[in-house]
Amino acid sequence: MKDRIKLAVIGLGQRGLCMLKNPIIPMKEEGIDVVAVCDPLEDRLDEAVKALLESGAEKPFATTNYKEVLSLKELDSVYIAVSWEAHVEVAVAAMKAGKYVGLEVGGAYSLDDCYKLIHTYEETGTEFMFMENCCYGKRELMMLNMVRQGFFGDVVHCNGAYCHDLRNEVTTGLENRHYRLRNYIYRNCENYPTHEIGPIAKILDINNGNRFLTLSSFASSSRGMHSYAVKTKGAEHPLSKINFAQGDVVTTVIQCAGGQTVRITLETGLPRAYSRGFEVHGTKAVYLEDNDSLFIDGNEEHEKNEWIWKPMWGNAENYEEQYNHPLWKNGVASDVHGGMDHVMMEAFLNAVKTNSHAPIDVYDAATYMSICVLSEESIAKGGAPVAFPDFTAGRWTERTDIAENKYTLDRINNGKDLYFVD
């Protein structure tokens, strides 16, 4: 195990800079030296260097060309927070250069891209983690813990969502040089599935005893971005004359080999409050994120309130003491994204320092990222079912290459999860 690691940050937009300016974990104390930063935009590069110097770190190597970063011999790992379109190119090059990859979330543009990640990983053996922070969310981990302990009985269905009013972010995309704008103009798909599908996939043992078989996606019309552009920029603004391709609400239903169904929703073009719409439906209980409640079969109080459930809203809190995941039991130091970023970053750094298999690996990444491509095809075909590739080539029936430490999200050790004894 290494005491210190040398890390580069590639992509210095909102996310990359946030990692440096508001360090999710205390870098120096945790043995992380950010030795290089990269972005094609010079002003962001300057901002990153300034932020690091102000934090007391040494001046990093700064470049607009990620290939120069990857040629640094001493580098252990790269954290990649680039625009969606550049994810696969940079991650593949980093694996080829032998640097442990931490790839930010986002979707794919082709199945070929997903396979590029898989094949490069298999050919190089360079480890890779998909940085899906929501897998380490407090409630997501609590529900994973409860599912594994049999609290829900057989889980037959899960819901998830990315409901986030992105009208301002998308329509200021030109000023902010943000990739979402062009994606919303040209694509119509479930474009950001991983925050909700990651935790659900772990609950359903996807790629480790189960797999996604098919999906069907449906997109509503696209009205929200246009009406917001007219409202905020005026009818004569060029953006107000654009027909956005991206539907305001995209609903996707996934069928699993184990018989379970999953519904995920993308709602980013309408006014609304944030929600990941997380739900776990089992034979013994149901969890509903939107009112943070658990309904438990046979619970007298719950059954008494079946028709007027409002008094029970928020009752999931009562189960925290018993069921909080061990990773959340002792509290977490940072409140970025409710602490889940902190736990995820710890998981990543632990994996890099020990050069071990990541808890959310390249097979998970390809599976989650492929949803964008498959949903695009399904929407274009009026909701027709589209088959998921099996990126594990059959190994999902008996996986051995999975992480085995306290950050593990998979069922391991013949179902006796290590984290219960940690």
Binding site residues, ligand NAD, CB under 6 A: 10-16, 38-41, 44, 66, 81-84, 86, 90, 104-106, 133, 178-179, 337
What are the tokens at 274? 């944030």
User: What is the closest distance, in whole angstroms, from the C-beta atom of residue 302 to ligand NAD in the complex?
Assistant: 33
User: What is the closest distance, in whole angstroms, from the C-beta atom of residue 139 to ligand NAD in the complex?
Assistant: 16
User: What is the closest distance, in whole angstroms, from the C-beta atom of residue 68 to ligand NAD in the complex?
Assistant: 11
- Number of residues that this document lists for the chain: 422
Task: Give the Cα separation of 70 and 92 in Å (integer).
Answer: 11
Q: For ligand NAD, which is the closer residue by CB, 178 or 233?
A: 178
User: What is the closest distance, in whole angstroms, from the C-beta atom of residue 50 to ligand NAD in the complex?
Assistant: 15
Exposed/middle/buried for 227, CB within 10 Å: 0-12, 13-18, 19+? middle
Q: For ligand NAD, which is the closer residue by CB, 173 or 269?
A: 173
| Bridge partner residues of 100 (DSSP) | 77
Task: Give the Cα separation of 104 and 85 in Å (integer).
Answer: 12
User: What is the closest distance, in whole angstroms, from the C-beta atom of residue 19 to ligand NAD in the complex?
Assistant: 9
Q: For ligand NAD, which is the closer residue by CB, 12 or 75?
A: 12
Token pair 């999710």 in the structure block, residue = 24
Q: For ligand NAD, which is the closer residue by CB, 48 or 155?
A: 48
Q: For ligand NAD, which is the closer residue by CB, 233 or 337?
A: 337
Q: For ligand NAD, which is the closer residue by CB, 64 or 283?
A: 64
Distances (CA, A) of 227 to 171, 237, 239, 240, 251: 11, 12, 10, 8, 21
User: What is the closest distance, in whole angstroms, from the C-beta atom of residue 175 to ligand NAD in the complex?
Assistant: 12
Phi/psi at 313 (5° precision): -55, 140
Q: For ligand NAD, which is the closer residue by CB, 260 or 375?
A: 375
Q: For ligand NAD, which is the closer residue by CB, 168 or 413?
A: 168
User: What is the closest distance, in whole angstroms, from the C-beta atom of residue 296 to ligand NAD in the complex?
Assistant: 31
In sequence order, which residues have a C-beta less than 8 Å from that of residue 187 and are 6 or more positions away?
245, 246, 376
Residue 294 exposure: Cα atoms within 13 Å on the Cβ side: 23
User: What is the closest distance, in whole angstroms, from the C-beta atom of residue 14 to ligand NAD in the complex?
Assistant: 4
Closest residue to ligand NAD, Cβ-based? 13
User: What is the closest distance, in whole angstroms, from the C-beta atom of residue 48 to ligand NAD in the complex?
Assistant: 10
Whose CA is closest to 16, among 355, 370, 368, 341?
Answer: 341
Distances (CA, A) of 3 to 11, 35, 348, 358: 26, 16, 14, 18
Q: For ligand NAD, which is the closer residue by CB, 263 or 337?
A: 337
Whose CA is closest to 99, among 76, 72, 69?
Answer: 76
Exposed/middle/buried for 184, CB within 10 Å: 0-12, 13-18, 19+? buried
